[in-house]
Amino acid sequence: MADSPLKLTILGLGTVASGVVRILTADNEPVSRRAGRGFDIRHVAVRDASKPRDVSLPDGVLTEDWKAAVSDPEVDVVLELMGGTTTAREAVLAAIAAGKHVITANKALLAEHGDEVFSAAREQGVCVAFEAAIAGGIPIVATVGRLLTGNRIQSIAAILNGTSNFILSEMAGKHRTYGDVLAEAQALGYAEADPAMDVDGTDAAQKLVLLTQLALGKRVDLSQFVRQGIDKLELSDMLYAEELGYRIKLLAVTRVVDGQLEMHVQPTLLRADRAIAQTDGALNIVELEGDAVGPLVLSGAGAGKMPTASAVVADLVDVAIGRAQQTFPLLDLWQQDSELTVMPPEKIELRYYLRFKVADQPHVIADIADILGRQKISLASIIQHEAPEIDATDSGDAIVPLVIMTHRTTEARLRAATDELERLPSVTARIMRMPVAD
Amino acid sequence: MADSPLKLTILGLGTVASGVVRILTADNEPVSRRAGRGFDIRHVAVRDASKPRDVSLPDGVLTEDWKAAVSDPEVDVVLELMGGTTTAREAVLAAIAAGKHVITANKALLAEHGDEVFSAAREQGVCVAFEAAIAGGIPIVATVGRLLTGNRIQSIAAILNGTSNFILSEMAGKHRTYGDVLAEAQALGYAEADPAMDVDGTDAAQKLVLLTQLALGKRVDLSQFVRQGIDKLELSDMLYAEELGYRIKLLAVTRVVDGQLEMHVQPTLLRADRAIAQTDGALNIVELEGDAVGPLVLSGAGAGKMPTASAVVADLVDVAIGRAQQTFPLLDLWQQDSELTVMPPEKIELRYYLRFKVADQPHVIADIADILGRQKISLASIIQHEAPEIDATDSGDAIVPLVIMTHRTTEARLRAATDELERLPSVTARIMRMPVAD
């Protein structure tokens, strides 16, 4: 029995699924050898089976009937690679109910319905594996869930969204505007037609929620932490960061501070000489800190056809061998809740970069410094260049950018100060704020 | 049964073993939870049980009788953390013969006696786990052996020896000499009293042999590839490298080139802006390239008490869960041999840095260029500074350093040229040669 091929149903035949089919149907001797058995793709369920595809499958494999494909009693494992949270949820729950192990690359599904999916799997005695759901080809789910078992993880700092990172890298490296790069990324197919989840930080936040569960056994909801996207960044922010010796990355952070969990996803200034600051393009990186292992860094392709397929196949081999089935019941997946509490956002202390657009009038800096001072926010540095912007206020004053770097302060103080600052007549636009990593 | 504690014998109570005992005896709830069971340290075998130690163990656990400790029928797992290749080999084979699973951090043992150890384990149906044997806390054994199973690994480039890397980092960062840093490292306990295996590249080469087995299923002997240590490096080499935009690292390389395996361990010039060039101190780094995943980089503590203990405990949890037992028979460990052949060293093509000490006489550069030219080695750049060294030849000429960067050439041509060059009267010392990474 152990040597019979594992029988598979694949849901979807998009980019990642095509990559998986390629690995399993090309010269797959290394995979079968490591799995100790072969793989037999029984069904590939798609919405439109008549659509031309560049993947060749045996006759009868392609089907539009996902329900039959998922419940075929012959099938051992269902690979959910269709995406979305509606049919995907239904299909995954149906597969579990039919006693199939499930492999998925769908972080949105797990972030939104993880509780339901994992509970159902535990009840049925099957496993749900999801290496491909976080950071594409980087084996971070296994690393956190299985390879650092002797550690208490103390912090995670990561770049988890390839689209955002591509946009930021292009802006910083080639001094292009946000809109310009986004349009190109969409034309190239890097960014979705609707890139909202990528650029507003939701995708990175969903992955951080999953990683935090695995690393710390703590269930956190997206509403419990600050999530800021990259869509308000201007080219001038990249230039100021560069001038100050930093680079800006959409950083997802979870760390234990005084027994509480500090979490946030925000564009963040990172010292330019750090590896994480130099992680460009579609690459992802995860910096972990464990009490025994110390700092550990993994970086690699965070998305893309073959890297993500690599992660899916790793899960498949784990199921073929039986490792995934042993691992799953012991993972901290919505099963119990850690005693750690999530730090209220307003209590989080960070250093900040603040970029203002101010009217070029006397006393502006004094007014701003006064408000910050009353909120006990002390200033580390101020940059104001001579070159005025072309815009002008109604009164005819030129508008100039002003950048302030603060010392550590709380989110609460910063919010109070920002509210007051934005009411100053000389402050002509919303203030751009980003934390500065230590 | 699955919930009963796993019963352990630990061989040795040095640095790493003390770290393991600390993780297992301190507040170990996270470890037991992830393992699904507790751990019971039955025996810790040491050479001298009367020696004072800063580890507290229950009465009766410490013993000088490793044979009894290894064969106790109650014990499930033996952790070999004594080091060496004589008693360690005997003890590991005795443990396997007694039906125990073995966890070891001993790369020298596995590099020298892997065949015997792994065969014995397969025959007995037990497993040998060795995450801690390579790159300390970095989970590279699991990554290569279990997490990239959908890939053909195409290259490995790694810093695998912490002592060498510490010495090189100090030389480059603080412009200190090799001897000066080595003496300090020995005083601090970083380097062994006899650091030969670390600084001559043997330790890194043993680890590379193990990684190559895991990644490519290919058995390679240390005698089949070039192994050069850091002990011939001078401070001037660090300074020239810096001037040229490089940093020098003891780099262990395995890569598939035209269907053959190119392997070497050598101090290597790496572009200063690469993450691997910036990996300093006792850190290790492994850069992998898989055909599906693309480039993947892992970095972290390559040695030290708690990082290495983290790796040992990860193996222990894998044995407790039963994953290690499923994995071991499927790993490519001396079990079969890949069709890949090892490229003969003389055929390997690389770019080189050559540093000469030459007499400050007319025509020296012409003579050197002529010999290189006849070996078809073309020059990319030459550096000769004005400042003469204090030494002088018998004839009274000042001795000056001369650095040449070559284009790609073979080891065979380089050897032939070096032999001829070192016979030139104006070349007053052995030529220092190091490859330059692409």
User: What is the reported pLDDT for B34?
Assistant: 87
CB-CB neighbors (< 8 A) of B311 in chain A: 150, 293
Whole-angstrom distance, CA of residue A41 vs CA of residue A350:
51
- Taking one residue from A and the other from B, the number of pairs with CB-CB distance under 8 angstroms is 173
Q: Decide yes or no: CATH 3.40.50.720 for domain B6-136+325-330.
A: yes
Give the containing element (helix H, strand E) for A379: strand A379-383
Tell me, yes or no, if the two domains A6-136+325-330 and A346-436 fold the same way: no
Residue B425 pLDDT more than 60? Answer: yes
Q: What is the ipTM of this complex?
A: 0.93
**Does A321 sit within 8 Å of B150, measured CB to CB?**
no
Q: Which of A107, A207, A249, A357 is catalytic?
A: A207
Q: Which is higher by pLDDT, B118 or B398? A: B118
- In tens, the pLDDT along B126-179 reads 999 999 999 999 999 999 999 999 999 999 999 999 999 999 999 999 999 999
Residue A154 near residue A289, CB atoms below 8 Å: yes
Residue B340 pLDDT more than 50? Answer: yes
Report the share of chain B in percent with pLDDT over 70.
96
Residue B192 pLDDT more than 90? Answer: no
User: What is the reported pLDDT for B389?
Assistant: 59
Residue A1 pLDDT more than 50? Answer: no
**Does B146 sit within 8 Å of A314, measured CB to CB?**
yes
Q: Decide yes or no: CATH 3.30.360.10 for domain A140-301.
A: yes
**What would you report as the CA-atom Rg of chain A, rounded to the nearest whole angstrom?**
24
* Helix/strand/coil (H/E/C) assignment for every residue in B179-203: HHHHHHHHHHCCCCCCCHHHHCCHH
Mutate which of B16, B146, B283, B338 to test chain A, going by most A C-beta atoms within 10 A? B146
Q: Which two tokens stand for residue B18?
A: 């003390």
CB-CB neighbors (< 8 A) of A295 in chain B: 300-301
Give the phi and the psi of residue A135 in degrees, each rounded to 5. Answer: 60, 35
User: What is the reported pLDDT for B269?
Assistant: 98
Which amino acid is residue B61, in one-letter code? Answer: V
Q: Which of B33, B34, B150 sits opposite A31 (nearest CB)?
A: B150
| CATH superfamily of the A346-436 domain | ACT domain (3.30.70.260)
Q: Which residue has 């030849």 as its token pair? A: B393
Mean pLDDT taken over chain B = 92
User: What is the reported pLDDT for B423?
Assistant: 96
- In tens, the pLDDT along A379-430 reads 999 998 876 555 666 667 788 899 999 999 999 999 999 999 999 999 999 9
Is A51 one of the annotated active-site residues of the chain? no
- In tens, the pLDDT along B198-210 reads 999 999 999 999 9
The average pLDDT across B391-415 equals 87
Whole-angstrom distance, CA of residue B324 vs CA of residue A143:
15
Strands (E), B147-259: 153-159, 226-227, 246-257
> Nearest 5 degrees, angle CA A128-CA A134-CA A139?
85
Q: Which two tokens stand for residue B143?
A: 């990554």
CB-CB neighbors (< 8 A) of B294 in chain A: 137, 300-301, 304, 306-307
3-state secondary structure of A77: strand
Whole-angstrom distance, CA of residue A85 vs CA of residue A117:
12
For domain B348-436, give its CATH number from 3.10.20.30, 1.10.3720.10, 3.30.70.920, 3.30.70.260: 3.30.70.260
- The distance of B304 to chain A (nearest Cα, Å) reads 9
**Does B300 sit within 8 Å of A294, measured CB to CB?**
yes
Q: Which two tokens stand for residue A187?
A: 């034309």
Sequence ranges of the domains in chain A:
6-136+325-330, 140-301, 346-436
CB-CB neighbors (< 8 A) of B287 in chain A: none
**What would you report as the CA-atom Rg of chain B, rounded to the nearest whole angstrom?**
24
